């Protein structure tokens, strides 16, 4: 469910929404930073940042698009790498289980709700950007599955999500500069909206591409699925810790 074995081609084909979101993250990150580094030789970078960043004062004056646009913007390399990696790791299962349209709605919807919470709970001149609120929204959906829809997620994958979620919440309160409101209310929004979106979902291993080809499925097949070994669970958690360390080092060494 969270072990990625695909080639780039198969990943792009099987998970087009995740691929598109990560592409947008990276393109906008490079565009904005190349414009800053080149002193404006790459055009419109400053405009994209200034027009899209979350700005409570601007929202209060009617610029409501800023409740959505910050979800796609990043300035720091560590920030864009961590959010993109999180999407690549944890997004595909939900894109497959929910379908493209529902996934887009819940991703954007939880991101917007997280930014509304930010607007209401932080100061009038608070500014923010990043996909973290929407990503925590996805974790909220998984949290709902773990508690109420155990038929959709097995014990090993539930363990992975629980550990990563606990780490994410702890880091939210320990790291300076984190938009705490977006993280917490993204998570809450995902959990509250999940019942509407997972009602007809099927387990991840019952693949959508095969179903689209007209292959018949036994709805009880989930009982026969392979469970991740505890060794693979620990390996994935170890890689997550290593990623956090690498991103922490990069954030201190790189000039952006």
**Active site residue ranges:** 132, 183
Half-sphere exposure of residue 44: CA atoms within 13 angstroms, side-chain side: 5
Residue 43: Cβ-neighbour burial (10 angstroms; 0-12, 13-18, 19+): exposed
Neighbours of 13 (CB within 10 A): 12
> Of 194, 78, 76, 79, which Cα lies nearest the Cα of 140?
194
* Gap between the Cα atoms of 195 and 191, Å rounded: 8
Q: Find tokens 């360390």 and name the residue.
A: 245
> Of 73, 174, 89, which Cα lies nearest the Cα of 133?
73
* Gap between the Cα atoms of 104 and 108, Å rounded: 6
* DSSP H stretches of helix in 122-179: 132-148, 155-174
């Amino acid at each position: 469910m969270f072990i990625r074995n695909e080639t780039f081609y198969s990943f792009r084909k099987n998970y087009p929404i995740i691929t598109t979101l990560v592409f947008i993250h990276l393109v906008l990150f490079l565009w904005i930073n190349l414009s800053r580094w080149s002193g404006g030789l790459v055009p419109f970078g400053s405009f994209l940042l200034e027009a899209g960043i979350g700005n409570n004062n601007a929202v209060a004056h009617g610029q409501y698009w800023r409740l959505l646009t910050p979800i796609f913007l990043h300035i720091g390399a560590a920030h864009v790498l961590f959010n993109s990696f999180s999407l690549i790791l944890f997004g595909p299962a939900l894109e497959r289980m929910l379908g493209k349209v529902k996934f887009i709605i819940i991703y954007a919807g939880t991101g917007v709700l997280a930014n509304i919470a930010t607007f209401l709970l932080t100061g009038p001149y608070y500014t923010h950007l990043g996909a973290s609120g929407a990503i925590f929204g996805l974790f909220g959906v998984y949290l709902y599955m773990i508690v109420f829809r155990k038929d959709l997620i097995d014990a090993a994958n539930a363990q992975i999500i629980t550990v990563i979620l606990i780490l994410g919440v702890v880091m939210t309160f320990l790291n300076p500069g984190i938009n705490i409101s977006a993280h917490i209310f993204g998570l809450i929004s995902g959990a509250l909206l999940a019942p509407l979106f997972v009602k007809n979902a099927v387990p991840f291993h019952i693949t959508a591409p095969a179903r689209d080809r007209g292959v018949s499925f036994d709805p009880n097949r989930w009982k026969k699925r392979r469970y991740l070994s505890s060794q693979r669970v620990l390996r994935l958690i170890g890689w997550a810790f290593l990623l956090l360390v690498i991103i922490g080092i990069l954030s201190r060494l790189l000039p952006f």
